[in-house]
Structure 1
């Protein structure tokens, strides 16, 4: 499962954990989040998030296209 980082406040959306406080079940993929979902910390929309994944000792961060 992936993690997505908010470019506005660095909040990390973890697909394994979801966002249970806002009704998003664990295991919910970022791309399956409702269009109305926003960052729970700063209110940024989904297009302000970058995909982050670990590849060995270096951390790679990739910008995702508009979702």
Structure 2
């Protein structure tokens, strides 16, 4: 899968930010809007998952810096 930050090595605990609305996916939090439990890495999200803030597809997400 390719996404905005795909040039970086994405680790299971990396947080990613939507490039459209700036909503942040944090694996430690999961996504209660879409029923994703805490501890789910970005790579493990379902193929049909999209941003709960604006419905942007996964490829619009960018890895946040440390």
Computing the radius of gyration from Cα coordinates, the structure with the larger value is 1
Structure 1 distance, partners of 2:63, 2:40, is 15
Which one has a larger percent strand, Structure 1 or Structure 2? 1
Q: Offset of 1:35 from its aligned partner?
A: 0.9
Question: Any runs of at least 4 consecutive aligned residues in structure 1 with deviations exceeding 6 A, and if so which?
Answer: none
Q: TM-score, normalised by structure 2?
A: 0.77
Tell me the number of residue pairs that the alignment of Structure 1 and Structure 2 aligns. Answer: 54
Q: TM-score, normalised by structure 1?
A: 0.76
Structure 2 distance, partners of 1:49, 1:21, is 17
Which one has a larger percent helix, Structure 1 or Structure 2? 1
- Structure 2: any 5+ residue segments left out of the alignment? 1-12
- Structure 1: any 5+ residue segments left out of the alignment? 55-67
Structure 1 distance, partners of 2:43, 2:61, is 11
Q: Which has the higher contact order (CA 8 A, sep 6+)?
A: 2
